[in-house]
Structure 1
Amino acid sequence: MKKEIHPKYEDAKVICACGEVWEIKSTRPEIRVGICAKCHPFFTGKQKFVDTAGRVERFRQRYGAGKAAK
């Protein structure tokens, strides 16, 4: 392998928008992420369920339930 052609692989800080910080190995000294396992709704158990059934019914009320186009 040739010397000094590869980037330095060193300790790096990963910083989440929620404030969580952890260390990994990378060629970049600092990595910023928008979401991590500490603040993601799937992992925290605070998932927001979308009421799609209510939206579908509201659409059908506004525009008619299954009117066939002629």
Structure 2
Amino acid sequence: MKKDIHPNYREVVFQDIASDFSFVTRSTVRTDETITWEDGKEYPLVKVEVSSNSHPFYTGKQRVLTSGGRVDRFKQKYGRLGKTRQ
């Protein structure tokens, strides 16, 4: 393997700024910020806007749209234009 061509794969702290949720994982992401974790070690810090703790799909706050309602609104709005011509 060639030397010095692979990114540095190390432990990194990802912090969700929306919910103040943090977790440690391994990554090659580059960052200038650091944080002292619960174990007393200092890790690179990456701030993210959405994580599993704040994403609507994972928190159960997702709004589900029904496709049937969309089709009915399309047919109502465009009437005959929605039908295929032969």
TM category, shorter: 0.5 to 0.7
What's the TM-score, normalizing by structure 2? 0.54
Match of 1:42 among 54, 57, 61: 57
What's the TM-score, normalizing by structure 1? 0.62
Equivalent-residue separation in structure 1 for 2:77 and 2:64 (angstroms): 23
Output the aligned Cα RMSD: 3.0
Identity over the aligned pairs, expressed in percent? Answer: 40
Equivalent-residue separation in structure 2 for 1:52 and 1:23 (angstroms): 39
Listed one character per residue, the Cα deviations across residues 13-61 of structure 1 (whole Å, up to 9, x for unaligned) are 2112312122234454222323211112222111210132112101101
Instruction: Structure 2: state its 5+ residue gaps.
Output: 31-43
Instruction: Structure 1: state its 5+ residue gaps.
Output: none
Aligned residues: 69
After the TM superposition, which residues 17-32 of structure 1 pair with which residues of structure 2 at under 5 Å, given as runs?
Answer: 17-18=17-18, 19-27=20-28, 28=30, 29-32=44-47
Query: Which structure has more RCO (C-alpha within 8 Å, separation ≥ 6)?
Result: 2
One-letter code aligned to 1:69: R
